[in-house]
Amino acid sequence: MHQEIVALDGKALRRALNKDQSVKYVVSAWAESNGLVLGQLKVPDKSNEITAVPELLRVLELAGCIVTVDAMGCQKKIVREILESDADYVVALKGKQLIAGWDHAYLLRLLGI
């Protein structure tokens, strides 16, 4: 059985503003096999992707999907939202987050889930 891969990623809209405006950010959920955006959310000013991703996850039907997210997604709230939506996940780790031998159970304990 094929599981849909849903990739979450944030993007800066650097060229889509006037000179006096600050950079705007959006978080998108991309359905790999269908080649389309399932949802997109503007990141509120004075905030970041970490706060926007859980909001986007809550409005998507992800049961049975594999959700991928970059290293910024290695957050308790984000992993919890993915698990509560009955989806599997792949979370990128980097730098101090990367320790050989991590498994699913260890990551959940580390995140306090």
Mean pLDDT to the nearest integer, 95-113: 61
Q: Counting beta carbons within 10 angstroms of the beta carbon of residue 93, is it exposed (0 to 12), middle (13 to 18) or buried (19 or more)?
A: middle
Q: Of all helices (H) and strands (E), which one includes residue 24?
A: strand 24-31
Q: Judge whether residue 25 has pLDDT over 80.
A: yes
In the predicted structure, residue 1 carries a pLDDT above the cut 50: no
Q: Angle at the Cα of 65 (from 89 to 8), degrees rounded to 5?
A: 60
- 39 phi and psi, to 5 degrees? -170, 155
CATH number at residue 45: 3.30.420.10
**Tens-place pLDDT, residues 73-98:** 888 789 889 999 999 988 887 666 55
User: Is the separation of the CB atoms in 6 and 62 below 8 Å?
Assistant: yes
In which domain, by residue range, is 12 found?
A: 5-111
Q: Per-residue pLDDT for 100 more than 90?
A: no
Number of domains in the chain: 1
pLDDT tens-digit series, residues 32-65:
998 999 999 999 888 888 899 999 999 999 999 9
pTM for the whole thing?
0.79
